[in-house]
Amino acid sequence: GMFGSRLIAYDPIRMKYEEIKYDYYEKTADDVSETINQDTGTITTTPSVEQADDSQREFSDFVSTDISAIDSKPNKLISSKSDYVGSNNASIKLATTTHAHDAMFVAPPDKTVTQQSTGEEITVKLNSTIGVTNKTFKDQGAKQNNVEKWLLQRQAQVSEFGNITVTFTVPGNTSRHVGDLIRFEVPSHIPQDSSEIGTVQIGHQLYSGYYLISKIRHIIKKDGFEMDLELIKNSFAKRIPGQTQVEPT
């Protein structure tokens, strides 16, 4: 469900359901899929079938560990043209929704009005959008669970952070906590016989960058103190091709 999923949100009181779809990339009207014939080299272009429906959609807008300096948007893990993007049937969830229950099943307070002809004050019993009053239905605790706004997104966010994980042991430091944001330069191969060793980039161009500490295991011994760290991230240090960039003005 990281790149596309679908939620069937059922309201048992109103006996209605709605479909909500989640996409890693926001689809546009000109989204197409391309198929290449390996024998002839012919490219067949077809419109995106997902673009035809009018379902409610949610999109990936999470805070990322690495963002582009050009447009301040996340450096996502795959291209917008990847085969992984496009299907909302990869993961289907069914959940109970209480959408708009706070407006439908909680009656508004009584209102006092003054008659213009007599000046007498009278109390008016107001109804909710479906006719509920304080006498017909008393559920003042009714509220929305907003499952449409978080269930698919949370599932995708957890999966996204599970893509890049680094574990290693470092000297102990009690000031480090789970949730800290740190920068880690992942070592990359540097040729020993290069005459221009000073021009070689040391950190890995994709896996270096900012990480969140997800786990800490303190190891205290008689002769020392160490920590086992687990780091996670949900974006690349640099942007890969196939992602829309906004050119600076």
List pLDDT tens digits, range 32-49: 666 677 777 777 766 655
| CA gap 228, 127 in Å, rounded | 60
Query: Could you tell me the pLDDT band of residue 73, with boundaries at 50, 70 and 90?
Result: confident
Nearest Cα residue to 34 out of 77, 86, 76: 86
User: Do 126 and 110 contact (CB within 8 A), yes or no?
Assistant: yes
* Dist CA 145 CA 148 (whole Å): 8
Which amino acid is present at 224?
G
**What is the CA 95 to chain-centroid distance, rounded?**
18
Q: Rounded to a whole number, what is the distance in angstroms from the first to the last CA of the chain? A: 36
**C-alpha triplet 161, 70, 26: angle, nearest 5°:** 55
79-90 average pLDDT score:
83
Nearest Cα to Cα of residue 213 among 143, 149, 165, 146: 165
Q: pLDDT tens across 228-241, in order? A: 999 999 999 888 88
Closest CA to 159 of 94, 58, 232: 232
Structure tokens at 187: 């070592």
DSSP 63-95: --SSB-TTT--B--SS-TT-TTSS-S-SSEEEE
Residues 175-211: pLDDT tens digits?
999 999 999 988 776 666 556 555 556 678 889 999 9
Q: Among 96-105, 221-230, 238-247, which stretch is predicted with the lowest mean pLDDT?
A: 238-247
Question: Do β-strands 224-233 and 209-221 pair in parallel, antiparallel, or remain unpaired?
Answer: antiparallel
Look at residue 183 in the predicted model and tell me its pLDDT: 92
